[in-house]
Amino acid sequence: MQMQMLLLGCTSSFTLSPCVSLSPSLSPHPNPNPFLLSRPSFTPIPLRSNQPLSLSKSLPSPNATNLFVAASAKAEPLKVIISGAPASGKGTQCELITQKYGLVHISAGDLLRAEIANASQNGKLAKEYMEKGQLVPNEIVVMMVKERLLQPDSQQRGWLLDGYPRSSSQAAALEDYGIRPDVFILLDVSEDILVERVVGRRLDPLTGKIYHLKYSPPENDEIASRLTQRFDDTEEKVKLRLCTHHENVDDVLSVYKDITVKVNGNVAKENVFAQIDAALTHVAEQRKVNSGSLAA
C-alpha cells in the first residue's frame, strides 16, 4: 500500500516531528533497509534539560537486567509513556517491557474495550468514536486513565502508559495532576508497514496475547482457532485512525520533547525491544546517579 493512498481525505501533515537530538553523534544510524538493522538505534534526550546525559552508544550489555535491579533498589519506580501510530507495536513492546521491568501496563485502548465489553454507558459512547477512528471524549478517557495511574500497584511498581495522552488537552490534564513520566518512548514506523500490521493482527481472548498472522503466528492450531480480530482493524478504519494520530501527535510531542526517546519500530520486535531496553536501563542508571548525588 502506498503512503499516498493512506493520506486520502486526511488534511493534516503526516510527518512525525523529529525529537531534539542530544548531540549529533547520538543520532540514529541511517539505514536504507530498516529490516536489516542489526544494532539498537535510538535518540536519547536527558530527563531534564539541565541534567547532562552521557549515553554509551554500544549495544545493551548482557548485564542490563542487573543494572536495572541495582538502580531500582534505590530509586522511585519508573514511569514510562509509550507512544506511536496505530499498530506501531506499542502493545507488543509493552508485553516485553512489563516482563522485564515489572511495570503496571495501562492501555487506554484496553480500558475502553473493557468498558465496551461491560456494555457500560461509557463503553457504548466510546465505541461510536472508536468505530470512526476518532478520539473518545476526554470526559470518558481522562478520569479513567488518571484513576488507574493512581492505584496502589501503579504507584508501587511504576507504570507503563500506552496510548495516552493523544492530544494536548490530555497531556495538560496529566501535567495538572502532577503526573509526569521519566521517559516518553516514541515508536517510529513507516505507514505502509502499519497497514500490514493492522490487517494481520489477531488477539487471543483467553490470554490477551497479541499475534500477527505473518510476523507472530500462533503457536498451535488450538490457539489459532480461537483468535479474534478487533472491530477497528480494517484497512479503511486504520486510515481514519492514522489521520487522527497525525492531527495530534505534534502537540503531544511538544509537551515531552525533553524526555523523548525515538525508537526505530520498523524492525523485528526483539530489535525494537533492544532499543527500548537500552533506553530504560540508561534512565534507571541516571536516576540512581541522581539520587546518589542528592543523598551525598
Catalytic residues: 90, 166, 201, 230, 241
CB 280 within 8 A of CB 63: no
Give the helix ranges, DSSP H, for 163-268.
168-176, 191-200, 221-226, 235-255
DSSP secondary structure code for residue 61 in this structure: P
- C-alpha cell recorded at residue 285: 542508571
Exactly one of 149, 272, 278, 279 binds ligand AP5 (CB under 6 A); that residue is 272
Site stretch for ligand AP5 (CB under 6 A), options 32-40, 43-51, 161-169, 276-284: 161-169
What phi and psi values does residue 170 have, to the nearest 5 degrees? Answer: -70, -40
Return the SS3 of 256. Answer: coil
In angstroms, what is the minimal distance from the CB of 294 to ligand AP5? 34
CB 185 within 8 A of CB 82: yes
Exactly one of 75, 136, 161, 263 binds ligand AP5 (CB under 6 A); that residue is 136
In angstroms, what is the minimal distance from the CB of 139 to ligand AP5? 11
The CA distance from 279 to 263, in Å, is 9
Q: Does residue number 261 form part of the binding site for ligand AP5 (CB under 6 A)?
A: no
Site string for ligand AP5, 65-104 (x = CB under 6 A): -------------------x-xxxxxxx------------
Q: Does residue number 148 form part of the binding site for ligand AP5 (CB under 6 A)?
A: no
Residue among 42 and 75 whose Cβ is closer to ligand AP5: 42
- C-alpha cell recorded at residue 184: 516518553
- C-alpha cell recorded at residue 33: 533497509
Q: Does residue number 248 form part of the binding site for ligand AP5 (CB under 6 A)?
A: no
CA-to-CA dists, residue 144 to 9, 107, 139, 150, angstroms? 31, 11, 9, 10
Q: Does residue number 112 form part of the binding site for ligand AP5 (CB under 6 A)?
A: yes
Which residues inside 187-226 make contact with ligand AP5, applying CB under 6 A? 197, 200-201, 210-212, 215-216
CB 94 within 8 A of CB 162: yes
Q: Does residue number 246 form part of the binding site for ligand AP5 (CB under 6 A)?
A: no
Residue among 76 and 131 whose Cβ is closer to ligand AP5: 131
The CA distance from 166 to 108, in Å, is 10
In angstroms, what is the minimal distance from the CB of 46 to ligand AP5? 26
Exactly one of 46, 129, 217, 258 binds ligand AP5 (CB under 6 A); that residue is 129
What phi and psi values does residue 205 have, to the nearest 5 degrees? Answer: -65, -20
Give the binding site for ligand AP5 (CB under 6 A).
84, 86-92, 108-109, 112, 129-130, 133-136, 141, 163-164, 166, 170, 197, 200-201, 210-212, 215-216, 241, 268-269, 272
